[in-house]
Amino acid sequence: MNIRKKIHLFSTIFLFIILLLINGTIYYLYNKVTTEGELDRLTNQTETIAAALKEQEIAPRTLLPAFIPTDGMIRIINQDSNPILAQAKTNELGKSEVIFQEAQTAEVREVGGKSYAVVAIPIIWTNGEVVSLEVTESMAGVQANLDILRTILLLATLLAILPAFLSARVLSELILRPIEKLTSTMEEIQRKKTFKHIELENQSKDELYKMGTTFNSMVDILQANSEKQQSFVSNASHELRTPLTIIESYASLLKRWGAKKPEVFDESVEAIHSESIRMRNLTEQLLLLARNDNDWEIDWQKVDLVALCKDGAKSFMQAYDQDVRVVHEQNVVLAAGDKQKLKQVLFILFDNAKKFSERDIDVVVGYENGQPSITVKDYGIGIPKEDVAKVFDRFFRVDKARSRKTGGSGLGLSIAKEIISAHEGLIELQSEEGVGTSVTILLKEAH
């Protein structure tokens, strides 16, 4: 069963049940109120008859016919449940059950399939015996009113169901039209393998409109990720093809001339070794970038950023013989993070600064807006303004020719950004051509 039929069926049945409950309650309350009203009225009438009999100015057989209700009966019943005196408008009532009531009662009885109101009051009879004065009156009028009310309520229910069914159809169209558009758009995307927005109606900014805007935003994200994925695969293939081509070329050269020319052998082996290392590093970087944030397995601990930067700077200077100055106002700057992975980010930033600047590298450690921060500054060639927003993209290189000579693959900053994101931190880059570049890392404060 589709959603449209479910909406029709559910809304119609639900409204029908509600109407039944409401109309049933109305019918019950009306029946109760009118029945109690009839019994109260008949009770008052019976008390009037009892008062008239008590005066004993007129003989009971002469007095009682004046009080007999229309389609009713009056009886005097002794304690043995035998009628002493009975006067009725119809013979049918004479067949009703005779019961002596010791106390005053008021009830509804069924006699011959008809409803009658019966009130009994104990009185003292002319011989001093306690008897029961019973007055019976037909409730045909009440039943007729109840029949009319039942018919009206039934018709009202049926008349309400029809517009309810039609309104359910309109409601289902309003709800399902955007969903059907969404479904058809997704099917078209799946069939044509292209991204497409769903057309939105601007009449109302309701939840369905929000669903459409969310879908369009998702399509934009998927399209951007698809383009990035295609670019990533293309760049990765290109980057891997280059060392493989070099290795293949030098292997062919070795195969042809290696045994005859020692200089060719040495050159080929060195080139193959160098390209193998570059390809291994590139593969490791690609594997790092394939991780999700949850895959980084951050070993959360308190990290002293001042000590971390000093230790990293010392190791870097010993390896590359380039000065790195650590500047800090506080002796201890604590952040929450993984010491080894943050050190990996530092080496990525140091390596980038070394490649594009021959001057010293400055590292500023402190707090920025209450957050622990590290800023790595170089004074090299800088980055063009139009390329600053792209530097964290995978395989992006500002100067591809120069980057290739320096060994860069365009993955370092991407890896740094992934690591900092896994730390729930932020990494920002500012640069000016001919002046230099500064990269700032903001981390969570340790508690």
Domain residue spans in the chain? 3-147, 207-289, 296-445
Amino acid at 75: R
CA distances from 372 to 146, 302, 337, 375 (A): 82, 12, 11, 10
SS3 category, 68: coil
- The answer to whether residue 403 scores a pLDDT higher than 50 is no
Q: Which long-range contacts (CB under 8 A, 24 or more apart) does 169-173 make?
A: 169/8, 171/7, 171/11, 172/3, 172/4, 172/7, 172/8
The architecture in CATH of the region 296-445 reads 2-Layer Sandwich (3.30)
Distance (Å, whole) CA 266 – CA 257: 11
Q: Name beta bridge partners: 327.
A: 364
* Tokens coding 119: 């009130």
pTM value is: 0.46
**Out of 117-131, 199-213, 379-393, least confident range:** 199-213
SS3 category, 416: helix
CB contact at 8 A, 87 and 76 = no
CB contact at 8 A, 135 and 118 = yes
Distance (Å, whole) CA 63 – CA 54: 11
First to last CA, the chain: 56
Distance (Å, whole) CA 112 – CA 88: 15
Q: Which helix (H) or strand (E) holds 53?
A: helix 3-55
pLDDT at 256: 77
pLDDT in tens, 324-350: 999 999 999 999 999 888 988 888 888
Helix ranges restricted to H, 193-261: 207-253
Domain 3-147 has CATH 3.40.1390.10: no
CB contact at 8 A, 182 and 211 = yes
Q: Which helix (H) or strand (E) holds 108?
A: strand 105-111
What percentage of the chain reaches a pLDDT higher than 70? 86
The architecture in CATH of the region 207-289 reads Orthogonal Bundle (1.10)
At 3, the pLDDT band (50, 70, 90 cuts) reads low
CB contact at 8 A, 377 and 247 = no
* CA angle, residues 181, 184, 188, in degrees to nearest 5: 135
At 406, the pLDDT band (50, 70, 90 cuts) reads very low
Distance (Å, whole) CA 92 – CA 75: 14
Burial of 117 (0-12, 13-18, 19+ CB in 10 A): buried
pLDDT at 400: 45
Q: Name beta bridge partners: 286.
A: none
How many CB atoms sit inside 10 A of residue 160's CB?
Answer: 16
SS3 category, 118: strand
pLDDT at 332: 93
What percentage of the chain reaches a pLDDT higher than 90? 26
CB contact at 8 A, 119 and 98 = no
pLDDT at 345: 87
Residues counted in the chain: 447
Average pLDDT, the chain: 82
Distance (Å, whole) CA 141 – CA 106: 18
pLDDT in tens, 351-392: 888 887 878 899 999 999 889 999 999 988 888 888 887 888
